[in-house]
Amino acid sequence: MKKQFAQQLFAAHAQASSSVPRSAICQFMDNTLQLLFPELAEQKFNSEKDILLHLDLLEQDLIKILTGMPLPQHLVPALLAKNFITQLPFIYDLLLKDAEAIASEDPAAQNIDEVIRTYPGFLAIAIHRLAHALHQLQVPLLPRILSEAAHTKTGIDIHPGAKIGSYFCIDHGTGIVIGETTVIGNHVKIYQGVTLGAMSVAKEMARIKRHPTIEDYVVIYAGATILGGNTVVGSNSIIGGNVWLTESVPPYSRLYHKAQIRVSRSEDPEDSIVFSI
């Protein structure tokens, strides 16, 4: 029995492709964030030249990671890495806008420094924008490992394929799920527990848009669930907490539960009345 099990396991181990260097990947992500944001840096950079050097170093590290992975033939590690580094200034620019959006939206935030240093929403979007750039370059597996690392740290699960506009603001964020083909406009704000998901679909639909589109200036409150590839939330809409939405709504919509809630006012818990609020 045990011997047979060992055979089975060994067969699985023997045919496994060359392992993806998970710790090197996490180090790469961490180094990138430390270079971009002094609030997260563990070392001082001395000069512009020192920064340039570490940008080059990131590029080399990425080449090494990609070289160790099973890539499709048409993808060349050195070209992918160069391309990624070239995008960093744009990503950095987007992230500063995200931090601004959070700082200006959350009354509890004292300043942008505090946002960058302590907001899980900022960390999640920062890692997402890095992972998304790699996803756009068709790099396999690596973007997903990055997004899962962000998920573990922040409880925020953004598929690297999701397209997210500028000034994106996540408050708190635990439990947020944003699916692979989601499209989000600019100045969107999302609270904890929001799902931008797919209807349960057949595997064959993997290549079509399965997740919703959120237009500019939309706010989605905690626990709302918005599903479906054809679902469009029009610009300037507000989606209330715990709303369950599977159809499009036009711009300037305000959706919230007109909930029936039962309330008891008496001190005898058995004696309850029902009314709406």
Of residues 25 through 64, those in contact with its own copies by CB under 8 A are 35-39, 41-53, 55-57, 60, 63-64
Q: Where are the alpha helices (DSSP H) in 137-171?
A: 142-154
Helix (H) or strand (E) holding 103: helix 77-105
In the bound state with its own copies, the residue whose beta carbon lies nearer, of 186 and 225, is 225
The tokens 């057949």 sit on which residue?
202
CA distance 146 to 130: 8
232 to 271, contacts with its own copies by CB under 8 A? 236, 238, 240-245, 247, 249-269
Residue 103 near residue 171, CB atoms below 8 Å: no
CB closer to its own copies, 73 vs 202: 202
CB of 91 to its own copies, least distance (A): 11
Q: Which two tokens stand for residue 145?
A: 């490992």
Q: Give least dist CB 109 to its own copies, A.
A: 9
Question: Closest distance between its own copies and the C-beta of residue 165, in Å?
Answer: 19
Tell me the number of residues near its own copies by CB under 8 A: 131
120 binds its own copies (CB under 8 A): yes
> What distance in Å separates the CA atoms of residue 79 and residue 118, rounded to the nearest whole number?
34
Using the rule CB under 8 A, is 100 a contact of its own copies?
no
- Tell which positions 144-203 bind its own copies, by CB under 8 A: 144-145, 147-148, 151-155, 157, 159, 161, 172, 174-175, 177, 179-180, 189, 191-193, 195, 197-198, 200-203
The piece of 25-33, 114-122, 125-133 that touches its own copies (CB under 8 A) is 114-122
Alpha-carbon span 208 to 259, nearest angstrom: 35
| Residue placing its CB nearer to its own copies in the complex, 163 or 206 | 206
Q: Are 124 and 147 a contacting pair, CB within 8 Å?
A: no
In 3D, which of 133, 108, 126 has the Cα closest to residue 168? 126
- Contact with its own copies (CB under 8 A): which of 72, 73, 74, 108? 108
Provide long-range contacts, Cβ within 8 A and 24+ apart, for 44-50: none
Tokens of 235: 């610009």
DSSP 16-30: PPSPP-HHHHHHHHH
Using rule CB under 8 A, residue 3 touches its own copies: yes
125 binds its own copies (CB under 8 A): no
Beta strands in 124-194, from DSSP E residues, in sequence order: 157-158, 163-164, 169-170, 177-178, 183-184, 189-190
- Contact between 88 and its own copies by CB under 8 A: the answer reads yes
Does 135 bind its own copies (CB under 8 A)? Our answer is no
- Considering beta carbons, is residue 99 or 213 the nearer one to its own copies? 99
Determine, following the binding rule CB under 8 A, whether residue 9 of this chain makes contact with its own copies.
Answer: yes
Binding range to its own copies, per CB under 8 A, among 25-33, 130-138, 222-230: 222-230
231 part of the interface to its own copies, by CB under 8 A = no
Collapse the DSSP code of 261 into the 3-class scheme (helix H, G, I; strand E, B; otherwise coil) and give the result: strand
Q: Which two tokens stand for residue 152?
A: 């573990």
| 40 DSSP 8-state letter | G
Complex with its own copies: residue 197 or 213, whichever CB lies closer? 197
Interface with its own copies includes 214 (CB under 8 A)?
no
